[in-house]
A = this chain, B = another copy of it.
Amino acid sequence: VAVKPQLASFERLGWRGLRILEGICSFARDQGLLVIADGKRGDVPVSARAYADALTSNGIGALVDAFTVNPFTGADSIEPFVDAAERSGSGIFVLVRTSNPGAADFQDLVVDGAPLFEHIAQVVAGFADRLEGSSGLTGMGAVVGATEPDHLERIRELLPKSIFLIPGVGAQGGKATDLAAAFSPGRASALVNASRSIAGADDPARAAEQLRESLWEVSGAPSRTT
C-alpha cells in the first residue's frame, strides 16, 4: 500500500540522488502507492518551516503523502510540520519510540514516573485533532518500533486515533504476531514497514506476502488465501 523511501539513501548520491528520488516518487504515485518520505527531519521553528515546505509543496513535496519528523526540538518545532500538513493533506509520523537498541539511551529515560517517549506521545496527542480525518483516525501519527511490544501497547493508549508507522519487523527482530495492540482502532491504523528482511530474501515477493498474511491475521480478519 505504501513505499517509504529513506531520504539518506538518496542524499548519499548528492543532488543527482534527489533527482532520482523525485522520479521514483512520481512512479510510485502513478502505480497507486502512497509515498512516505522517511527523512526524520526536525529543527527549530524557522528551519522546520523550510523542511515542511520541502515535504509538502516543492521538490518531492508534491509527490509525498506523509513524512517522518524528529521531535527533539519540542512542540514549537513540530507545529510548522502540522501547519503544512493541514494545508497539503499530508500525514505526519513523529518519532515516539524507535526500534534500534540505542533508542533506550534517551527515549526510555524516566521523567516524573514515565519514560520520555510517553511525554512525546502526549505532545503528539495535542496535535491529533488538527489532522483528524473523516474515518476518525488522525494523520498525526507516530513511529513506534516493533521491537518493544509493551511500549507499543502503552503508546496506543496515549494515541488512540493515530496511525502508527511500525519499523523493526524482520531484520531487527520484531515479530508481526506481537503487533495486535497497534491495530486496536482498526485495520487502517498501522503501517508495518519491513525493508531488509524483504529486499534480502531469496524470494522477496513471497517474503512480502507472508508478512502481509501474518499482519492481516493479527489485525483481526480471517486469513486470506491468494
Contacts and interface: CB of A to CB of B under 8 A. Distances in A.
Interface stretch (A100-108, A131-139, A202-210): A100-108
Interface stretch (A54-62, A149-157, A175-183, A184-192): A54-62
Q: Is the interface of A mostly helix, strand, loop or mixed?
A: helix
A165 to B, nearest CB: 13
Contacts of A6: 43, 47, 50
B51 A77 contact: no
Count of this chain's copies in the oligomeric assembly: 2
A120 interface: yes
A95 B73 contact: yes
Contacts of A109: 111-112, 116, 119
Interface string A32-76: 000000101111111110110110001111000000001111111
Contacts of A43: 6, 8, 40
A40 B46 CA distance: 14
Contact of A54 (B8, B48, B61, B100): B8
A103 B41 CA distance: 15
Interface residues of A, number: 61
A110 to B, nearest CB: 7
Contact of A18 (B8, B18, B50, B73): B18
A12 B104 contact: no
Interface of A: 6, 8-9, 11-19, 21-22, 38, 40-48, 50-51, 53-54, 58-61, 70-77, 95, 98-107, 109-112, 116, 119-120, 123, 167, 196
Given A42-B72, A44-B98, A73-B102, 19 more contacts: A8-B51, A11-B50, A12-B53, A12-B59, A14-B58, A14-B59, A15-B15, A17-B59, A44-B99, A44-B100, A70-B70, A70-B72, A71-B72, A71-B106, A72-B107, A74-B98, A74-B104, A77-B100, A106-B119
